[in-house]
Structure 1
């Protein structure tokens, strides 16, 4: 989502037109659509700001970076707009969120939404999934090749998914690895022993909900990826490496994550807790309560 979309006045106008034609009891707006949040306030609409990753990221590096500074210059300060919403709904795990310790009735953590039903059942040789975002970031192809070079000769099976941004052709692929543009992660994770990811919220929590330890390789310093990597390391469920890491560095870290009981045990414990929380239902219940209470 670019700066133009975040601040474009047309989104706010469209919101006003829609609710005038079809009135709503409550409007749910992505927290990054600042012009829509502003329009909802000006129209007097009851509305919720929806946070699709950790609140600590949005109120931290997001707000202090270009996505916060430029809108503030246009009168669209993120904190003001989030604060005027009837509720700030965070679809992430509170214990994982750097802001999770805040005591604020306006903030509500529903939990991370995922589709994991059971813990991963690891097989031999271990299966490792590699996914560094469906969006293209500078250095992403080189990072994938370094990972492929790192796993060559290891007694593991590796599946790499590149997404639409990276052509899967042209990689130097070792015998124990395959590279695909797309394979449903929901088909792979139930038998994974580790995931190498970029720190995207959805992939990270899908893996953790399966109880899978991770190696996080952030692709962008201006997203939530570095923060999620730090949280993964702090929780003891994985390690973080730079996207410029050498194959030797990647191989060493992956080997440690695969062979260390502590990572597996911590990931299994976290996964059980995440699977026990039905975040989508929790969110719906909170929204229903908000509608029913009139505030």
Structure 2
């Protein structure tokens, strides 16, 4: 089969998508990755063909100056939704659609697999009648009955007041997103598609929606029929540096905050100070956006731009993270408890699911070094957290063996190819 992946450089969303690409190529399929120039090397390393965005935004480096969505200092939910809507989902949608059109004109594809936020790519594939999968690289973020509204970090409702809270917040959120509906319908009508009644219906127009997280981690709810939780894709990115475990036998702590700039330097320093009070060794991966030389630390603390988290976690007793989906789920996949300090995006919601699972704790990103130290002590000393993490690890290992994402991708494209052949024969 021949797949077109439409991706954008948003940090943690790239490795899970390229993990799927790598698996498809290994199974003999042809894949073209349409994405930012920053991911060209990683995409080609999977064996895929790479094509850069031409009209749509395309980052040439992972430096903070080139972030498409500079949301690290926005605390107002209405402003954040407006920023995402205008800078990513709808603002460049026509350009994303035009680039997907160019790719589809160049060669036939059996399916388009698009990041769910790239509405332009989804519209272009729909207009051409190409089967399309909307890829959600973290927990499911669209409104679902019984699931707290995305972006709040709420735990599931337990009574009438919290259920009313969820309905009110969901209604306000939908109203803010629906301000992008006129632009979306203009884009659809220009390509001969019927208008939609609600903004997020565009994701529902996909043939399938694949959620790249564990069903055991995400909250239970009445998900739409097209939505499939297919397990997390947790391979390390190709750009990480080698790492050797320390010789000392003290418990090892992995600290990984965002690979994107989220104004995290002060939080990093407080974590360094907190761990300096514990009998542990620690490794901090600061990512491309933060210079590790900027921080003061003791001998038992190692700061590097990158390290293979999969290798580090085999030796770790604790992970401290901002709550990005990739780092958090990877820690849980190794049965390692997590301390989460959310800073934005999906991180508060991931932290809520972590707390609900019993596999970790959540603190405010502004928490003092003393509070971080106390939480880390609990996670290192109370076995219940590790037991809960190991329970999730066993489930995630079974999901990895099942390979549901690849099954869904292959079944969709094969089914559509058979339909195309029947139509051609007729």
- TM-score, normalised with respect to structure 1: 0.89
Q: CA deviation at 1:286?
A: 1.4
- Distance, in Å, in 2 between the alignment partners of 1:73 and 1:147 is 45
| Off by >6 Å, runs of 4+ in structure 1 | none
Taking a change above 3 Å as real, the CA distance of residues 68 and 229 of structure 1, as seen in their structure-2 partners, is same
CA-to-partner distance for each residue in 1:120-178, whole Å, 9 max, x for gaps? Answer: xxx8310001111111112x100000011111131111111111111111312023212
Return the alpha-carbon distance in structure 2 between the equivalents of residues 256 and 106 of structure 1.
40
- 1:48 is displaced (CA, Å) by 1.0
Task: Give the gaps of 5 or more residues in structure 1.
Answer: 117-122
Q: Distance in 2 between matches of 1:134 and 1:109?
A: 25
Query: Residues 185-221 of structure 1, C-alpha deviation per residue, up to 9 Å, x if partnerless?
Result: 122110000000111111111111000000001122x
CA–CA separation in structure 2 for the residues paired with 1:52 and 1:187: 22
| Counterpart residue number, 1:267 | 389
- Verify: 1:124 aligned to 2:249, yes or no: yes
Report the counterpart of residue 218 of structure 1 in structure 2. Answer: 342
Asked if 1 retains the 8 angstrom alpha-carbon contact of 2:217 and 2:392, the reply is no
Alignment coverage as a number of residue pairs: 284
The residue aligned with 2:15 is: none
Q: Which residue number in structure 2 is paired with residue 72 of structure 1?
A: 181
- What is the SS of the residue equivalent to 1:277? helix
Unaligned runs of 5+ in 2: 1-9, 11-68, 70-85, 144-148, 152-169, 186-197, 237-247, 420-426
Give the RMSD, CA atoms, in angstroms.
2.3
2-structure distance, mates of 1:238, 1:71:
37
Of 266, 280, 290, which residue of structure 2 is paired with 1:156? 280
Name the counterpart of 1:120: none
Task: Work out whether 1:22 is the aligned partner of 2:143.
Answer: no
What is the distance in 1 between the residues matched to 2:96 and 2:409?
Answer: 23
Q: Single out whichever of 10-19 and 285-294 deviates more from structure 2.
A: 285-294
Counterpart of 1:53? 138
Once the two structures are TM-superposed, the CA of residue 50 in structure 1 deviates from its matched residue by 0.9
Which position in structure 2 is the counterpart of 1:166? 290
CA deviation map 1:63-87 (0-9, x unaligned): 9389935533522654211111111
Q: Which whole-Å CA distance do the structure 2 matches of 1:61 and 1:271 have between them?
A: 25
SS of equivalent residue, structure 2 residue 413: helix
Alpha-carbon distance in structure 2 between the residues aligned to 1:176 and 1:66: 50
1:285 aligns with one of 382, 398, 407: 407
| Distance change >3 Å, CA 134–CA 153, structure 1 → 2 | same
Q: Deviations over 1:62-117 (max 9, x none)?
A: 6938993553352265421111111111111112223x43253211111111249x
Residue 225 of structure 2 corresponds to 105
Query: Is 2:365 aligned against 1:234?
Result: no
Q: What's the TM-score once normalised by structure 2's chain length?
A: 0.63
Tell me, yes or no, if structure 1 residue 133 matches structure 2 residue 218.
no
Q: Is the 8 A contact 1:216 1:229 kept in 2?
A: yes
> Which residue is equivalent to 1:90?
211
Match of 1:199 in 2: 323
Aligned 1:236-255 pairs, distance under 5 A: 236-255=358-377
Equivalent of 1:256, from 370, 378, 385?
Answer: 378
Separation of aligned partners in 1, 2:130 and 2:199: 18
Aligned mates of 1:192, 1:241 — CA distance in 2: 20
Q: Partners of 1:29 and 1:18 in 2: how far apart?
A: 13
2:332 and 2:285 mapped to 1: Cα distance?
18
SS in 2 for 1:74: helix
Is contact 2:214–2:399 with CA below 8 Å preserved after alignment? Answer: no
CA distance in 2, matches of 1:125, 1:70: 54
What SS does the corresponding residue of 1:193 show, helix, strand or coil? strand
Q: Say whether the 8 Å CA contact 1:113–1:280 is kept in structure 2.
A: no
